[in-house]
Structure 1
């Protein structure tokens, strides 16, 4: 990835990490499963974003698109 480009994976991961404490501090109690799901999703988006800074992730994008087409085009 070239310098100056917008890294959407990293941004999504940081936003999820920023929203999580707001949800935990509210009066709504989230189940542990939902809390773990939010934390894991934010962590994985952040790792993919960090990886994509120095590496090409077009192969990952193609595999993701193939998997989605395979699941929804039965």
Structure 2
């Protein structure tokens, strides 16, 4: 697959993911449970690390890291 095709597919996927995350974040903000200073790109960048957890650490480490990420979205 050519790099330009891969970039197009990746951009389309990220666009759809960003739209879904924006809707999720907006709904949470309207309910007063999610922070107002975090956007979809922030969540995408922070969750990127989950793809880099070593396979032998996945079961132990991923739930804890995901919990930290989600806790960070809550209003304080």
In the superposition, the TM-score normalised over structure 2's length comes to: 0.34
In the superposition, the TM-score normalised over structure 1's length comes to: 0.35
